[in-house]
């Protein structure tokens, strides 16, 4: 459905595109599974409730605070304070390799039900990766971090991205779930190290690193020429499983497939055609 001007505040809206202006003291609730796009500079001061679907903000509506009950908040515009409540995803930008794709907000107070999902789009200094730019305080509250990469983007080791640009000098409060300062994790298979004191000293940054070597914990025969390989690595990092028939130089490592570390860093791979390599040596390689 579309919005009519002047938009009725306090209403429940499921989807549509509205380029006009929303004014008044009421609020707006985004419901349903569709996408609602607001591109105007809206001055309404009531609460914006995310209760389903996707809300894309490309204008300025910084007078309205946003409460995350469900759904996805995205866009490149300006919004008021963002608070986590029941669930919800904050995914800055519009999903493509666009210029100026930071989502600007007031203070941020996530909780354990909130997911923050930045998109890494380029290592070109002319592009701004999809990040959250905060004017106020930042409390991550044990929220979940999911890092996406656009296409085949493979940043070099040592390259740093800012994913939360925190203004002023106030430190970031809290951390993402399971990611203390300096933790290494996987972003769509690649290893990154997180810092909550990066950038100007109080920004959240992630740096492309080399993952520590994985350890195989067991290799078990499943019968019928099938072997299950289990190893300990880094959560979210993808491992390329390879095999060789001997370790005499020059070693011919044959790629078998890939496996990604679970939340505990454990990965498993089933070699279903092991008789093709009568004597086998295995290794796990990171990207």
**pLDDT tens for residues 121-137?**
889 877 778 999 999 99
**Contact in structure between 50 and 71 (CB atoms under 8 Å):** yes
Q: What confidence tens digit (pLDDT) does each residue in 170-219 have? A: 999 999 999 999 999 999 999 999 999 999 999 999 999 998 899 999 99
Strand, helix or coil for residue 224 = coil
- Closest by CA position to 79, among listed 136, 33, 129: 136
- Contacting residues for 95 by C-beta, under 8 A, at least 6 apart: 74, 119
The parts of the chain modelled with pLDDT lower than 50 are 1-8
**Contact in structure between 26 and 9 (CB atoms under 8 Å):** yes
Structure tokens at 34: 């569709």
Predicted local confidence at residue 98, as pLDDT: 55
Predicted local confidence at residue 2, as pLDDT: 37
Predicted local confidence at residue 16, as pLDDT: 84
Radius of gyration, alpha carbons of the chain: 23
**pTM for this model (two decimals):** 0.90
- For all residues of the chain together, what is the average pLDDT? 90
Predicted local confidence at residue 128, as pLDDT: 74
**Contact in structure between 11 and 2 (CB atoms under 8 Å):** no
What's the rounded Cα separation, in Å, for the pair 153 and 11? 41
> Which 8-state DSSP code applies to residue 275?
G
């Amino acid at each position: 459905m579309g919005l009519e001007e002047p938009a009725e505040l306090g209403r429940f809206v499921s989807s549509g595109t509205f380029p006009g202006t929303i004014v008044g003291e009421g609020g707006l609730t985004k419901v349903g599974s569709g996408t609602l796009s607001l591109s105007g500079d809206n001055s309404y001061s009531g609460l914006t409730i995310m209760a389903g679907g996707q809300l894309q903000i490309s204008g300025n509506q910084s007078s309205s605070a946003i409460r995350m009950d469900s759904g996805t908040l995205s866009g490149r515009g300006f919004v008021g304070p963002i608070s986590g409540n029941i669930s919800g995803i904050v995914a800055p930008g519009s999903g493509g390799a666009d210029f100026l794709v930071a989502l600007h907000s007031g203070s941020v107070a996530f909780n354990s039900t909130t997911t923050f999902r930045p998109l890494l789009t380029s290592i070109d200094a002319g592009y701004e990766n999809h990040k959250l730019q905060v004017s106020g305080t930042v409390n991550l509250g044990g929220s979940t971090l999911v890092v996406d990469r656009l296409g085949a983007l493979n940043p070099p080791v040592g390259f740093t991205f800012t994913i939360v640009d925190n203004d002023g000098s106030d430190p970031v409060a809290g951390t993402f779930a399971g990611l203390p300062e300096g933790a290494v994790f996987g972003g769509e298979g690649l290893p990154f190290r997180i810092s909550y004191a990066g950038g100007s000293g109080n920004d959240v940054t992630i740096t492309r690193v080399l993952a520590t070597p994985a350890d195989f914990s067991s290799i078990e025969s499943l019968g019928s020429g099938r072997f299950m390989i289990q190893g300990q690595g880094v959560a979210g990092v993808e491992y390329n499983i390879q095999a060789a028939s001997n370790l005499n130089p020059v070693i011919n490592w044959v790629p078998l497939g890939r496996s990604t570390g679970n939340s505990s860093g454990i990965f498993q791979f089933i070699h279903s055609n092991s008789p093709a390599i009568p004597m086998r040596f295995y290794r796990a390689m990171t990207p």
